[in-house]
Structure formats: structure tokens, C-alpha cells
Amino acid sequence: MRNRNQISTVLLSLLLGACTTFQAEVAETAVQVQPVVEAEVTVPTAKIEVISPHDSNPIISADYFDFSLPDNIIEKSPFVGSAHPELVEIVDRRKIILASKMAQTRESIVLQRRQAAALQALAELEKNNGAWYRLQKGMQLEPVLNDRVIAQLSWYLNNRGYLERVMLRASLVLPFILDELEKDNLPTELALLPIVESAYQTFAYSHGRASGMWQIIPSTGRFLGLKQNWWYDGRRDIIESTRAAIRYLKTLAGEFNGDWDLALASYNAGPGKIRRAILYNKKRKRQTDFWNLTKIRRETRNYVPKLYALKELFGHPKRYQLELLPISNEPILEVVELGQQIDLALAADLAGITINELYQYNPAFNRWATSPKGPHRLLLPRSKSAQFKLALKEIPVEKHINWVRHKIKPGETLSEISRKYRTTTALIKSVNKIRGTQIRAGKYLTIATATKSLKSYTLSQSARVSKIQNTRRSGTKQVHVVRRGQSLWSISQRYGVSTNALAKWNGIAPIDTLRVGQKLTVWINRQAVLVQTVATLTATGPNQGLQALRYTVRKGDSLYRIANKFNIRVTDIKRWNKIGKYLQPGQKIKLFVDITQQSG
């Protein structure tokens, strides 16, 4: 029995000699075995068994690790010799089998280790060359983690679905924003500002008329040189708006002596308001840094803490268990120069993408085509740009837009014709070399039109507004046509709804200017309709604007003639009265007219 135990101990020494220490206990006798070679165990274990020559039960059953056995370990072992011929016999019999199995296992483990190392290296390489890593390395603002920042950080951590959507949108724009910031060696934290402003939504539009990813209001856009017209809004242009916003932020930082906290607050509230808030603190001998300003709006008070919360979150994603969506350091989109106006449906077909996708890449275009006065370029996926360029060469320039000949009818005006074809009066005049506004019936006009149904241009401005207006809401839907002198406030008063609700139903801001003939959707409940009718019937004073009257139909009158006479709509007259097929002289009908629009 002792012989068998000794054999087991020696074999165990041979197999586990590379381990730091090993203790073997077998049957009746325990023998301490010192290792032949010391090595650290760093890899997974595998099972190895040595079978007794006398029976099928293993005499050694141990976990062994990935270590290297010298080829001459048997000869070198002090336990092997003439004193133990049975050991030599066992070793000789099992040496080849064990060596083969161990070699295979070692090769397998080495291969796994190499594969794991390669994958880890690749992941590390991608991370170190990704946009998020670049963002982290370029951060320059001193970290702030006060109560106000922690409150915003908690909100983001409790809304991880929001962060996922934000990162998905960032994949289109983040590399380009970082490029622009690095040109001027500016803090890369500023690339997170569009999250605060719009969550990287290029079609975002606020109640204050701010538009685009950087939420620029019209006046600031004009100040920054961004074009805003019927065809195109530079505030939504990914390239132009980013460059303009960065120029503005850089200017604001200069105004406040490099204080980025005050510059950021000014971007939100306007530099004038921040200067007044600073002056207020100065007069009271208080500190004038952003964190001590009190005369600012709540929105601005939270604005800067939001950016610092995002800096903390995206600067230390592991700390907050945030898995960053991989974003390549190379921009996904490429600028393709056109040289002239092009139908967006045609461009989408040539690039092999949908119109929807094209609008997402080029959100600045309001209509069915690029602007006739530029910019004459498109942003397209790099994988599609070569295909687009080749296909565009095959299309004659005059075919980039669909042209039709329109015969002018008696009484038609340029504005009516431009609305019919969804174009502008200026473009019709330019193409047809018309100087004034006079046109002659029977003559022909050449007009640029869309190649597809306007419903196909799903993200044009009119399509986006139409989608909002047709969203089902509670109450009864009515369509109001804007008349001269009307505002959102006066219309909301007429229907008994709030200005904010009316603006929301129509995808506009409460302070937007309305145009004559513009159609607005109004949702009112039955009680509000009754209140509106009673209020209108009793409104007789000039301050009220609308006045109820009863009109006696005269010979030769028609609904159109009456509506034109009082500057109201035929549909309104029908809605106010139960009118049969024909009007009869002497018939009395109810009218509600705006007395301020009846002069002349």
C-alpha cells in the first residue's frame, strides 16, 4: 500500500511541479511534495486522471494548470530510478498518452488565450480610436459635482432609455462636432451641449422659436449668418448650425473672460440677461460666478448643471455602469457638391436611400428640393456617395428638377400659381424673367415642380406640420383660415382655447407670426363651442373685434359674394346657418364679422 501511495505522490509531483505548492493526500499516508518549478496559476483548470495498472480506479485525480513540462522531467526527477522499477514501468506506459493529452490541452489553452488577447486588444484599439474616447481626452472644463449637478446626474441615470436614444442620434453628428471643436482647441464637453438643447434632434423646434440641434432662434441665426428662407433653414443644417454655434460659444467665452460657465449660461439666456444678473450681485457685494447668480430663470439655473452632469457621465461611464454605444471616429456622412438645385426624391433614388433618410441627413431643406440659391450640396452616407456621384453624371442638369408649362388663367396671380405648385413667387419670376407682379392670361409660365406626389416628401416642413395637425386629440376638430390682422392670441380667444395649445396643435411657437390664408387646426369640446357662439353673439363692441349681425339676402347675392363682401369664408356662413341648395332674396342669415377688417 505504501508503494502505491509513493507512486501516486511522485506522479503528482511530475504533473503539478509547476504550481507554487501542492499537497496530496492519498489513502493512508500523506506526503508533502515540494514543487520542481514555481509558477503563477493564471488560466482555467482542466481535469487529468492517471489510471492504476491494476484496476480502473484513478490513483491520481487532480486539476492541473497550463504550465510547461520539460521533456526530460522524468529523467531529472530524484524519485525515478532503479529503486522504483514499478514507477518507471507506469511512467513508460503512460508517458506518451499523458504527454499527448497535455500538449493538446496546452495548445488549446494557449490558442484561447491568444484569441482573448486579440479580441481585448481590438476592443481597446476601437475604444481608443472611437468618438467617445476622443471626447473624454479632449475635456478641459474643471469637474463640478455639487448638489445641482448631482440632481441632474440622477435624472439621467434614472432615464437610461433616453441616453440610449441620444447616443444613437449622436452617431451621425458627434465626429463632425469634435472635428470643429478641435480646430479651435475648444473643450470637447461642448459636443454634449446639443443633448441639453435638443437630445441631438435636428428637427427640434421649441416654444421660443428655437430650431435645430443647437436650438438657435431666428434673430441669433441671422446674426450668425445662417440663411432662413422658404426653401432652407440653416439653423437645422448639421454643418452650418454647428459651425455657427461654436463661433457663438467662442465669442461668448471671450466676452466673459474665458469663463465657460457664464458663456454657457449666456448661450441659453442671452448675454444681456447674464450681465444684468452679474451686475445685480455686484451691487450687493456678492460673488458673480454662475453658481451664485440668483436673477436668472430656472431653465438657465439648470442648464449649466446639466452639461456638467453629462461631462461626469460620459467622462466616467464605467463608474455609472453606462455602456457607451460605439461610435466611429470617422464621420458617417460625406459632403457631396451639386452645383445646382435638385429634387430630393430624385437625389434619394440616385443614392439608393429613402426620402426619409435623405431628410434626416439634410434636415435644413424645408421643401421637396434643395434651395435654388444654395447651398448646393447634400450630406450622404460615405457608403452611398460614390454611387450617387456616378448616377448623377448620367442625369442632364435640366432633369434635376421637373419642369411644367402652366397656362395662365383669367384672374390668376403669381401667388396663387406658386401655392398650387408648392414653389415661390420669386422662383417663378426668376425663371420666367418677370420684373413686376403683372401676368397676362393665355401666356405660359415655366415652373419647377416635384417629381413625385408631395405626400412622398414625408419630412418636408409642410408634411411635418400636416402630421402634427392631423394627430387625433380630444374634442372636435375645426380648421381656421387666418385673416388679416389675426394672431394666435386672438384666434385662441375666439375658440376658447389657450395660445400654447393652439401653437402645439399646429407645430408652431406661441410667438410665431401668422400669414393670411394659413390654415390652423383647432380642437374644441362641445361646451367650448357653445361658449364661443354665445360670446360671439354678444360681442358688439369694437374692442371685441368680432360682431354678430343678421344679413338680409338681396337679389343676385351668392354665398361667395357675401363672404367676399364681409371678408369671411363660405364654409363659415354654411356652418353658422342652415342653408339649402339656393339662397332666396329676403332670407336672413347670421354672420360674424371682424369689424376691424371692414374698412375700405
The domains of the chain are located at 2-109, 135-320, 336-456, 461-597
135-320 belongs to CATH 1.10.530.10:
yes
- Is residue 7 within 8 A of residue 33, CB to CB? The reply is no
Q: What are the DSSP calls for 125-159, one per residue?
A: HHHHTBHHHHHHHT--SPP--SHHHHHHHHHHHT-
Interatomic CA distance for residues 267 and 290, integer angstroms: 13
Written as one letter, the residue type at 154 is S
Identified catalytic residue from 189, 197, 240, 312: 197
Closest CA to 208 of 170, 245, 235: 235
User: Does residue 197 have an active-site annotation?
Assistant: yes
For residue 17, the model assigns a pLDDT of: 46
Cα 507–chain centre separation: 19
- Give the residue carrying C-alpha cell 454605444: 325
Domains 135-320 and 336-456 equal at CATH topology level? no
- For 458, list phi and psi in degrees, rounded to 5: -65, -20
Q: 161 Cβ partners below 8 Å, 6+ apart?
A: none
Burial 148-172 (b: 16+ CB within 10 A, else e): bbeebbeebeeeeeebeebbebbeb
Interatomic CA distance for residues 46 and 560, integer angstroms: 94
- The CA-atom distances, in angstroms, between 214 and each of 254, 309, 325, 508, 580 are 20, 18, 22, 18, 55
Superfamily of domain 336-456: LysM domain (3.10.350.10)
Written as one letter, the residue type at 336 is V
Cα 388–chain centre separation: 25
Counted residue by residue, the chain has a size of 600
For residue 492, the model assigns a pLDDT of: 82
The torsion defined by the Cα of 363, 366, 368 and 374, in degrees rounded to 10, comes to -80
- For 336, list phi and psi in degrees, rounded to 5: -120, 120
Whether the pTM exceeds 0.75: the reply is: no
Q: Which three cell numbers, joined as nine digits, stand for 60?
A: 491520481
For residue 452, the model assigns a pLDDT of: 66
One digit per residue, pLDDT tens: the chain, 600 residues? 444 455 445 444 544 443 434 333 333 333 343 443 433 434 444 444 444 444 444 444 444 333 344 444 444 444 444 445 555 555 555 566 666 667 677 777 777 777 776 666 555 555 556 999 999 999 999 999 999 999 999 999 999 999 999 999 999 999 999 999 999 999 999 999 999 999 999 988 887 788 999 999 999 999 999 999 888 999 999 999 999 999 999 999 999 999 999 999 999 999 999 999 999 999 999 999 999 999 999 999 999 999 999 999 999 999 999 999 999 998 899 999 998 999 998 999 999 999 889 999 999 998 889 998 889 999 999 999 999 999 999 988 888 888 788 888 888 888 888 888 878 888 888 878 888 888 888 888 888 777 766 566 666 666 677 777 778 887 888 888 888 878 888 888 788 888 888 888 888 777 777 888 888 888 887 444 434 444 444 433 333 445 677 788 888 888 888 887 777 888 888 888 888 778 888 888 888 876 445 444
Burial 72-106 (b: 16+ CB within 10 A, else e): ebbeebebbeeebeebeebbeeeeeebeeebeeeb
